[in-house]
Structure formats: C-alpha cells, structure tokens
Structure 1
Amino acid sequence: MAKLSIEQLEKSFDGQHILENLSFKVDEGEFVSILGPSGSGKSTLFHLIGGLYTPDAGNIILDGKTINGKKGSISYMPQSHALLPWRTILENVMLGGEIAGKKDTKRAQEMIEKAGLTGYEHAYPSQLSGGMKQRVSFIRSLLSPQHLICLDEPFSALDEFTRLEMQHWLLSIWEKHKRSILFVTHNIEEALYLSDRIIILSNKPASVQKEIILPFSRPRQEDIMLTEQFLQYKRDIYRALKFMN
C-alpha cells in the first residue's frame, strides 16, 4: 500500500497561479476524494502527482521518496476509459503489468471474472458498454504494480443508474484490495458515499479550504445516502462550494 504527502505545492502557467501552498496526505489504504470549483486545479494536481508537470515549489512524496517530475509512480484512471481499441479486454487489463515486466494472466482472468465480465476476455472495447469499459479500466489500474491509484472523475460520462452501479462495484472491489485511492469528482454524493475523507479545494490559486473526515462505517450500503447525517454533510459541502463560486 502507498502513503502520499503533498507538501506546500505551487504551480503556475503563463503567469497564472494555479496551486498555492497546497498540502494534504493520503494514508495507506485510504480512499480520499477531492472536491472543488470548476477550474480550481484538480487536473493540474493529478498531472503533477503523475510526473507530467514539475511543481514550481513544494514536494510530492510517495512512500518516503520525492517523486517531483517522475513518471510511472502512480496508476492513473482518466475520465474516459482510455482502453486501446486494438487490444482485447484481457490484453488491456494486463498492460500495466506488461510494461513493468510483471505479467500475470491468471490474476487478470480472476479480476475479469470478479468484475462480471467472464466471456468478454477476448472481446474488444468497441463491443462493451460504457460501464463495462470503466470496469476494465479500473481492473487495469488494480493490476498495475503502483500502489497509489488516482481516479479522475471516472464515472462522469455514465448515466445515473450505471454510475450508482459502478460506485457500488468500485467499493466492493476496493474493500477487498485496499489500495490507496485519490479520487477527483464534482459529485458531492459520490464523494460522500465512497470516501474516508474529503478535501475541498478553494478557487484558484487552489489550496485546501476544508477537510472532512467521514464517520460512515464500511462496508457501505446505498441506503446510507437517504440518512439525515448523510444529507446534512451534503448540505454543508454544497454551501461551502457555493460560497466559493
């Protein structure tokens, strides 16, 4: 499992300050969600953690090692499934392991079965529904050797019913494997349902506006979203975000 520390991160583009003195942590096996106004720098943060950008100041520390500007330290799942259309489902989920020289066909087939995709191992992405493609994408993230998974609004393109189904499935898989997850979303309910902790970012330049430790026990059931405690958290977060806009 992985432990991530973001320490006083700063980043600007063309004179525009995007991140300012941004600091937070993700503990081993923790599910942390990031909420913030549109354009607050959430994607920039992921690009920094993934090594695509180098911070102007501050450090990104993963398992005690500074990874500023270093690629390949995390497993990343973008908004779109990003599956390779010429590779079968089995070949797609094994991609990260192949790159790292740790190909494990047996485990890949087991994960495909757990995802309810038995019989689709040799199908191609074009033959799958949107929800099925996202399952494949997440399995690929789990099978990659990196211990920290960054999920960038992975369910935003799905319809509401499929989105709820995918949230429930994600939790059921994550609770078995307990990988450290940093999850970006614009959906307050989604963040509350999935997370151990929520970090709310301010408008640009983004810094941590508020941090919420959630009291909901695991495993989570969908009916938790109808409880007064859940709804109160939702109201409080909505007001915090509305105040920033």
Structure 2
Amino acid sequence: MSELIAESITKSFADKQILQNVSFTVKEGEFVALLGPSGSGKSTIFHLIGGMSRPDEGTFSLDGKDITGQRGMISYTPQNPSLFPWRTIIQNVVLGAEIQKKPDYQTAQEMLEKAGLKGYENAYPYQLSGGMQQRVAFVRALLSPQDFICLDEPFSALDEFTRLEMQQWLLNIWQENKKSILFVTHNIEEALYLADRLLILSNNPATIKYDFSLPFVRPRDENLFLTEEFLQWKRKIYQALQENNHIPS
C-alpha cells in the first residue's frame, strides 16, 4: 500500500493557469474521490501524478519518495479501458506485471473469475461489453506492481444499471486488495458511494476547495442511496460545488 502527497502543485498551459497551489494526501489503503467543474484540472492532476508532464511548481511523493515527473510509479485507468485489441483478455490483464517481467497467470485467472469473467480469458476485447472491458482494465490495474491507482471516470460511458453494478463490483474487489485509489468523477452519488474522502476542486485556477471525510461505514450496498444521511450529504456536496465562499452547514 502507498501514501501519496501532493504539495503546492501549480500548472499552466500557454497563458492559462490550470492548477494553483493544490495540496492533498491520499493515505495508505484509502479511497479518495476528486470532484470539480468540467475543465477544472482533474485529469491534469492525474497526468502530473503519472509523470506524463511536470508541474510548474510543487512536488508529488509516494511513500516519502519524490516521484515528480517520473513515469511508471502509479497504475492509471483512463475513461476508455484502453485494452490492446490484438491481445487476449488474460494477456491484457498481465501487461503491467509483464513489463516488470513478473506476470502471474494463476493470480490473473483467479482475479478474472472474481470479476465474473471466467471463460473469457482467451477472448479478445471486441467480444466483451463495455462493462466487462472496464472490469478487465481494473483487474489489470490491480495486478500491476504499483500500489497506487488513479481511476479517471472509468464508468462515465456506461448505462445507469451497468454503472451501479460496476460500482458495487469495484468496492468488493477493492475491499479485498485495499490499494490506495484516487478516483475522478463528475457524479456526486458515485463519489459519496465509493469514497472515504471527497476532494472538491474550485474553478480555474483550481485549488482544493473542500476536503470532506465521509461517515458511511463499510461494506456498502445500494440501500445507502436511500438513507436520509446520504441525501443530506448529496445536498451538501451539490452546494459546495455551486459556491466558493462558505462551507455548507
């Protein structure tokens, strides 16, 4: 498990400042959701953590080691599953470990079975539905040697029923592995349902506007959506996304 610390991250593109003094921590085994307006810099934060570009100012550290600008230190799952069409499902899920020359096909087989994909090991991505492809992408992230996972709106393209099914599946698998996760979403209910903490970004230049610790116990199921406490938090987060001046009561 890994602890990520982002400290005073600032980033501009051309003449536009995207991030300003962004600081936050994701503790070992913690599930943190990141919410913010469209274009506020959520995906930019992921690109910076993953070393695809460097911040203008600030640092990222993982377990006390400076990883600013370094690639290969985290596992990243984008909105699109990004599976290689010429590789079978099991070949796709061991890819991250294969790069490190440590593929474990037995564990991969077991993880695919837990993901409800038994019998699809030798299929190709085009033969799977969108939800099944997302499961493959997440299994690949879990089997990668990195203990920190960034998930960039992985369920945004799914229908509501499949999305809820995938959320529950994700929680069940994460509960067993407890890797640290930073999860970007536009969906308030999804953030509340999945996360231990919820970070809210302001408009550009973005900074961390609020850092909410959520009170919902684990394990969680769909009944949580119907509780009064959940609805109160949904209103609270909605208000926090709408204004900049005060924390809603």
What's the TM-score, normalizing by structure 1? 0.99
CA shift for structure 1 position 101: 1.1
Q: Does 1:140 align with 2:140?
A: yes
Give 1:158-173 correspondences, 5 Å limit.
158-173=158-173
Give 1:170-189 correspondences, 5 Å limit.
170-189=170-189
- The AA in structure 1 aligned to 2:104 is D
Unaligned runs of 5+ in 1: none
CA shift for structure 1 position 243: 2.6
Provide the C-alpha distance between the structure 2 equivalents of 1:240 and 1:218, rounded to a whole number of angstroms.
Answer: 24
How many residues align? The count is 244
Provide the C-alpha distance between the structure 1 equivalents of 2:102 and 2:205, rounded to a whole number of angstroms.
Answer: 40
Secondary structure of the corresponding residue to residue 170 of structure 1: helix
- The AA in structure 1 aligned to 2:205 is P
Residue equivalent to 1:111: 111
What's the TM-score, normalizing by structure 2? 0.97
**Over aligned residue pairs, what C-alpha RMSD do you find?**
0.6
Once the two structures are superposed, what CA deviation does each residue of 1:183-225 show, in whole Å capped at 9, x if it has no partner? 0000000000000000000001110100110010000011011
Provide the C-alpha distance between the structure 1 equivalents of 2:103 and 2:34, rounded to a whole number of angstroms.
Answer: 32
Secondary structure of the corresponding residue to residue 24 of structure 1: strand
Give 1:1-245 correspondences, 5 Å limit.
1-243=1-243
Residue equivalent to 2:247: none
Unaligned runs of 5+ in 2: 245-249
- The AA in structure 1 aligned to 2:146 is Q
List 4+ stretches of structure 1 deviating above 4 A. Answer: none
Once the two structures are superposed, what CA deviation does each residue of 1:29-64 show, in whole Å capped at 9, x if it has no partner? 000000001100001000000000101111101110
CA shift for structure 1 position 240: 1.5
Secondary structure of the corresponding residue to residue 243 of structure 2: helix
Provide the C-alpha distance between the structure 1 equivalents of 2:177 and 2:43, rounded to a whole number of angstroms.
Answer: 25
- The AA in structure 1 aligned to 2:74 is I
Provide the C-alpha distance between the structure 1 equivalents of 2:184 and 2:126, rounded to a whole number of angstroms.
Answer: 26
